[in-house]
C-alpha cells in the first residue's frame, strides 16, 4: 500500500500534473454491489438454480453481457437482454431507495472540482442507471459518462477507458494518458484502466484484487487527495 503523505490544499498545487480522472461507478463511487448481488441471487433462485456469495463476487466489475451469460449457466432461462433488464430494474430501485457513497469519494470529487480537474465516469452499468446515479450527486462533477452499452467489449478490455480518453481529449488539449487517473475497485476494472495506459488506482471493496506493478493501491479514498494523485503520475507540476 502507498505511504500516506501530508498534502497541500488544492489551491497550492500549480498546474496539476493530473489532467483528468476517470471513475468507475459501482463499488468505487457508490456501493451498489449489494443490489447487484441480491438481484443475481433472486434471479437464479427464481429458476431453481444454485448461487453462492463466491459466485457473486466473481462477477464484480464484469460487463453485463458476460455476467448474464454466467447467470444463464447457473440456470436462468432467459435471454441475455432480458437478464440485463431484470438486473437493471432491481438495482435502479435500490439506488432510488438508498445510496451509500464510498468513503472519501464525494470529498475527492469536490477537491478535483475546485482544482478544475475534469472527471468522467467509466462504468459497465448502462446509461439509465449511470444517469440516475449522477443526478443524485450534490453538484455536476462529471463532464461525461462512458457506459457498458456504448462499447462492444467491456472491462477487462481497455475499450471503455480508451473511449473515456477520447472524450476527455475533446476538453483537455494535449492529453497524456499517463496524466489521467483511472480509479477502480475490481480486477476487471483496474485491468481495463491499466491496459488503456492510464495511471491506474485501485481502491478494493468487496472482491479481493491481487497487487501488481501495473497499478497503485489505497485501502480507501477517505484520506486520498489531489497532491497524492499528482505524485502517482511521476510527472512534476508544470
The pLDDT of residue 223 is 87
- CA dist 164 and 193 (Å) reads 10
CATH topology of domain 33-97: DNA polymerase; domain 1 (1.10.150)
Q: How do the domains of the chain map onto residue ranges?
A: 10-31+100-233, 33-97
Tell me the pTM: 0.87
How confident is the model over 60-100, as pLDDT tens digits? 988 999 999 999 999 999 999 999 999 999 999 999 999 99
What's the rounded mean pLDDT across residues 155-182?
97
**pLDDT band per the 50, 70, 90 thresholds, residue 236:** low
* CATH placement of domain 10-31+100-233: 3.40.50.1000
The pLDDT of residue 1 is 36
- CA dist 152 and 92 (Å) reads 23
Helix 187-195 and helix 159-169, axial crossing angle in degrees, nearest 10: 50
Region class of 11: left (phi > 0), else alpha (psi between -120 and 50), else beta: alpha
Amino acid at each position: 500500500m502507498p505511504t500516506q503523505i501530508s498534502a497541500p490544499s488544492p489551491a497550492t498545487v500549480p498546474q496539476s500534473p493530473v489532467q483528468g480522472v476517470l471513475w468507475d461507478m459501482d463499488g468505487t463511487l457508490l456501493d451498489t454491489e449489494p443490489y447487484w448481488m441480491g438481484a443475481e441471487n433472486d434471479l437464479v433462485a427464481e429458476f431453481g438454480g444454485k448461487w453462492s456469495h463466491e459466485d457473486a463476487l466473481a462477477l464484480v466489475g464484469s460487463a453485463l453481457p458476460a455476467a448474464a451469460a454466467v447467470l444463464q449457466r447457473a440456470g436462468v432461462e432467459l435471454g441475455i437482454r432480458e437478464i440485463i433488464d431484470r438486473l437493471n430494474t432491481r438495482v435502479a430501485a435500490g439506488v432510488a431507495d438508498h445510496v451509500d457513497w464510498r468513503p472519501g469519494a464525494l470529498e475527492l470529487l469536490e477537491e478535483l472540482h475546485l482544482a478544475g480537474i475534469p472527471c468522467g465516469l467509466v462504468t459497465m452499468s448502462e446509461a439509465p442507471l449511470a444517469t440516475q446515479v449522477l443526478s443524485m450527486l450534490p453538484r455536476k462533477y462529471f463532464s461525461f459518462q462512458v457506459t457498458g452499452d456504448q462499447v462492444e467489449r467491456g472491462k477487462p478490455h481497455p475499450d471503455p477507458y480508451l473511449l473515456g480518453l477520447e472524450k476527455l481529449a475533446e476538453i483537455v488539449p494535449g492529453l497524456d494518458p499517463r496524466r489521467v487517473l483511472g480509479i477502480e475497485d475490481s480486477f476487471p476494472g483496474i485491468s481495463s484502466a491499466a491496459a488503456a495506459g492510464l495511471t491506474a488506482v485501485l481502491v478494493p471493496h468487496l472482491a479481493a484484487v491481487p497487487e501488481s506493478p501495473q497499478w497503485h493501491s489505497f485501502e480507501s479514498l477517505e484520506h486520498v487527495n489531489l497532491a497524492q494523485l499528482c505524485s502517482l503520475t511521476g510527472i512534476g507540476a508544470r
